[in-house]
Amino acid sequence: MSITYLEAIREAQFEALQQNPNVFLYGQDISTFGGAFKATKNLSREFPGRVFDSPISEDAMIGMAVGAAIEGARPIVEMQFADFSSVGFNQIVNQAATLFWRTNTPCPITIRLPSGGTPGSGPFHSQSMESIYAHYPGLVILTPATVEDAYWMLLESVEINDPVIFCEHKFLYYHLKSEDFGEAMPIGKARIARPGRDATIVTYSAMLHESLKAAEELRLDGYEVEVVDLRSVKPMDTDTILASVARTGRLLAVGESFPWGGVTAEIVARVSSEAFHLLDAPPMRLNSKDTPIPYHPNLWKSHRPTTGHISAALRDLLRY
């Protein structure tokens, strides 16, 4: 058996619906049609009356999920593309994220964001929103990079009594395959995806795979690069990051979102302030370019970090 990252997301939703009668799905085209990416394929047939097509109203969709969660339901909302969640931004950061703190009422909603770039998708179907949402208190931000994590973390998201922003990467939907779902790892713990001693890459989501390829390239030059997969960017497993930097003395943070601020800046800030004495070189970070995401693959490949960019950055880091 071989399962893709996308199938894992469907299976997790199947399992969530199966396990808990309070779970329902809400999103554009997700019912009979099965979703723009087929992440909810057949679920409306398997769970009649629990998978709903929504109007094109991201604001109302999130507000509705918040109200439903208050009443004890556990909605999973699909944003058709992460980019469109900006229309529901107010409801996410001001309604959902503040609810528990303001009123002591838990807000168990899961918002799925099909995230990140794919060739030809252009400025409005390619965005990575984790950095924006991580800025706000009251949200959990998950960024699975593997089939196993896509499955287990989505399933766990539904059990969490707080709003979860589930950033699933579209580039991994079909490319990434696994034999089975393996073992669940707790949310909030980072994973050493590849051990090493000369430098540490801290990354997440699709950038994990570019980073692993870069680490493999550097191996040919005799370097052993450690790669840390954050899994969740918020909470961020600072302990695992610091322990890795303690071993290697060098840090490169890699993310696909825009360069100003954000997750990679947070990683560098934490390492610089908490482990400055462990560093043998200035910490580095690599993000996409500071422009909207281009349409043509020639431009797109240069816009986001790829194996080549990461290898070059690693060489600079190791040369210091």
Partner 1 sequence: MLSARAAGSVFISISTVSVAESSLPCSSAVEAELREDFLKTLQCMMLSRTLEEKLGSLYRAGGRIVGGVYLGRGQEAFSAAAGIHLRWEKDVYGPLIRDQAGRIAYGEPILDTMRTYLGVVTGPMRGRDGNIHRGQPQKGYMAMISHLGSLVSVVSGALFARRLLGTLGDTVGATSIGDGGTSTGAFHEAINMAAVEKLPLVVSVANNQFAYSTPTTRQYACENLVDRAIGYGIDGHSVDGTDLLACLKVFRTAFQRARAGHGPQMVVGRLLRLGGHGEHDDASYIPDVKKHEHEGRDCLIVAQQQALDLGWATKVELDEWLKNARREVDKAQAQASKEPTPDPYRESWQALSTQRLAEGMGQ
User: In the 3-class helix/strand/coil scheme, how is the chain assigned residue by residue?
Assistant: CCEEHHHHHHHHHHHHHHHCCCEEEEECCCCCCCCCCCCCCCHHHHCCCCEEECCCCHHHHHHHHHHHHHCCCEEEEECCCHHHHHHHHHHHHHHHHHHHHHHCCCCCCEEEEEECCCCCCCCCCCCCCHHHHHCCCCCEEECCCCHHHHHHHHHHHHHCCCCEEEEEECCHHHHCEECCCCCCCCCCCCEEEECCCCEEEEECCCHHHHHHHHHHHHHCCCCCEEEEECCEEECCCHHHHHHHHHHHCCEEEECCCCCCCHHHHHHHHHHHHHCHHHCCCCCEEECCCCCCCCCCHHHHHHHCCCHHHHHHHHHHHHHC
73 binds partner 1 (CB under 8 A): yes
Q: Which of residues 159-178 bind partner 1 (CB under 8 A)?
A: 160-162
| Candidate ranges 16-24, 33-41, 173-181, 244-252; the one touching partner 1 (CB under 8 A) | 16-24
- Binding-site size for partner 1 (CB under 8 A) equals 51
Q: Nearest distance from residue 7's CB to partner 1, in Å?
A: 26
Residue number with CB closer to partner 1 (61 or 176)? 61
Q: Which of residues 75-104 bind partner 1 (CB under 8 A)?
A: 75, 90-91, 94-95, 97-104
263 binds partner 1 (CB under 8 A): no
Contact assessment for residue 234 and residue 140, using Cβ atoms and an 8 Å cutoff: yes
187 binds partner 1 (CB under 8 A): yes
Residue number with CB closer to partner 1 (66 or 284)? 66
C-alpha–C-alpha distance, residues 194 and 201, integer Å: 10
Q: Which of residues 264-303 bind partner 1 (CB under 8 A)?
A: none
C-alpha–C-alpha distance, residues 69 and 59, integer Å: 16
Residue number with CB closer to partner 1 (59 or 216)? 59
Q: Which of residues 192-221 bind partner 1 (CB under 8 A)?
A: none
Residue number with CB closer to partner 1 (138 or 261)? 138
Residue number with CB closer to partner 1 (267 or 310)? 267
The residue from 125, 169, 209, 309 that is catalytic is: 125
Based on the residue annotation, tell me whether 209 is a catalytic residue of this protein. Answer: no
Q: Which of residues 228-247 bind partner 1 (CB under 8 A)?
A: 234-236
Residue number with CB closer to partner 1 (72 or 222)? 72
Position among 140, 145, 150, 225 found at the interface with partner 1 (CB under 8 A): 140
Q: Which of residues 33-72 bind partner 1 (CB under 8 A)?
A: 49-50, 54-55, 57-72
Q: Hey, which residues are catalytic here?
A: 125
Residues of this chain that interact with partner 1 (CB under 8 A) are 21-22, 24, 49-50, 54-55, 57-73, 75, 90-91, 94-95, 97-107, 137-138, 140, 160-162, 187-188, 234-236
